[in-house]
Amino acid sequence: MDETSRTYDVIVVGAGPVGENVAERTRAAGLSTVIVERELLGGECSFWACEPSKALLRPVVARADARRIPGLNRAVDGPLDVAAVLAHRDNMAAHWTDDDQVNWLDSVSVDLLRGHGRLTGPRQVSVHTPDGGTAHLTARHAVALCTGSGTALPDIPGLADVRPWTNREATSADQVPDRLAVVGGGVVAVELATAWQALGAQVTLLVRGDGLLSRMEPFAGELVADELRTSGVDIRLKASVTSVARPSGADGELSITLADGGQVSADEILFATGRTPRTADIGLETVGLAPGDWLTVDDTCRVTTVSDGWLYAVGDVNHRALLTHQGKYQARIAGAAIGARARGEVVDSARWGAHAATADHQAVPQVVFTTPEVASVGLTTQEARRAGRRVEVVDYELALLAGAHQYAQGYRGRARMLVDPDRHIVVGVTFAGPGVAELLHSATVAVAGEVPIERLWHAVPAFPTLSEVWLRLLETYRDRPR
């Protein structure tokens, strides 16, 4: 078995969107960079999360919108073409090949080393390659851990024996199960329940809490729950799974036992109950960190508990904001900071805006691609109260907009804006309703830019569009009782 040794300015472990962006930024800064990946370049997002899940959901959302439009609704009365939807999903996931990603890495002059990378000491990474060899890598300046996260499976009797679905199986399955049990009430759970119910599965959604999307404004989860029930999803709240089994064998019917003694039968069970960092087997113990832990970082994504400042943790592994776009944002920040420090510049995250991931604290945007869509950025009412922040809550029914009537008959939706009454800026916005995802960036600009309410009055929305909600929210805020 061959052993080789190489030295680079920067070593990136993990070639998902986050790792790719770190590598591209450090290479653009003139630093020699290698990226290490044990699976497919492009990672979870490209092959088992964002891309395939949205490919499954897009026909569902488009059909739901079309069904509300006179003159078009009868044309979309039939079922989805399952084979065509799955073929589109396969195309969006590049048929689970990463040739395009390899070509992209070549185009930005980043080296690729396939294999399982592990830290072996400060600035040292050992890679076990598929051919049985070992490569020993040394970083002159930085090692960036971008290994992402995986599904957190609960400790439930029988779970290991029934081959449960995680997001990976749910986004790559080539058959529609007759009955699918989905455990969870968060974003992944409601999105995949939406997709597979529309594709023909009978979905039972088992939610431990008392509502859906509990981290968002309550009205968002209520609107999504109403639509899921209308589509045929059986939603069971305060339902905790205590055991699972396939009494008749590996391909037989699942028997799911609930804490209240109830039973649910299904053909497949999907767990969407949280995420866990992929840090259990990357050598954290060799640099004084605990395997399996989330990694604490500063605003430049540098790990705070490792001396000499050479170790970075970017994306899901630092647990700041488990979203692809936030991880890519962090990657741009981290790559710029690594480059600046390599040039001997002093990077003070309090002063250097380009090197500080401030959006992780105040302006994290998120879209839930269900019917209806949900889009939010900044604080929710509950988060503001927990933090002791004084906010004024401004609500508006989207159905009152002319643009909503143009969008669809029977439009249902709601918007909420949170205003800091002392600084007169928007600190949080949530939209729930058909087509609201495209409203989100304007809200993100308002929150991240801390645009004064007085200036927002002069950002005139076009008529008749859903964006006119901004005018109505501002009018409602202006006219509220004093």
Domain ranges, residue 182: 159-273
Q: What are the C-alpha distances in Å from 415 to residues 49, 50, 103, 285, 374?
A: 27, 25, 43, 47, 10
For residues 22 and 129, membership in a common domain is answered with yes
Angle at 176 between CA 162 and CA 408, to 5 degrees: 130
CATH number for the domain including 116? 3.50.50.60
Alpha-carbon dihedral of residues 372, 378, 382, 383, nearest 10 degrees? Answer: 140
Please give the pLDDT value at position 237.
97
Residues 202-231 have pLDDT tens digits of: 999 999 999 999 999 999 999 999 999 999
Which pairing describes strands 3-13 and 202-206: parallel, antiparallel, or unpaired?
unpaired
How is 179-220 classified by DSSP, letter by letter?
A: EEEEE--SHHHHHHHHHHHHTT-EEEEE-SSSSSSTTS-HHH
Structural domain ending residue among the three candidates 228, 250, 273: 273
Residue 227 gets the label, from left (phi > 0), alpha (psi -120 to 50) or beta, of alpha
The neighbouring-strand residues paired with 10 are 33, 142
Structural domain ending residue among the three candidates 227, 248, 273: 273
Structural domain includes residue 325: yes
Structural domain includes residue 435: yes
For residues 382 and 447, membership in a common domain is answered with yes
For residues 285 and 356, membership in a common domain is answered with yes
For residues 309 and 344, membership in a common domain is answered with yes
For residues 12 and 142, membership in a common domain is answered with yes
Which pairing describes strands 373-378 and 366-368: parallel, antiparallel, or unpaired?
antiparallel
For residues 145 and 285, membership in a common domain is answered with yes
For residues 20 and 139, membership in a common domain is answered with yes
Structural domain ending residue among the three candidates 360, 393, 423: 360
Domain count of the fold of the chain: 3
Structural domain includes residue 210: yes
For residues 131 and 19, membership in a common domain is answered with yes
Structural domain includes residue 341: yes
For residues 347 and 289, membership in a common domain is answered with yes
For residues 377 and 444, membership in a common domain is answered with yes
For residues 242 and 344, membership in a common domain is answered with no
User: Which portions of the chain are predicted below pLDDT 50?
Assistant: none
Structural domain includes residue 402: yes
Q: pTM for the full model?
A: 0.94
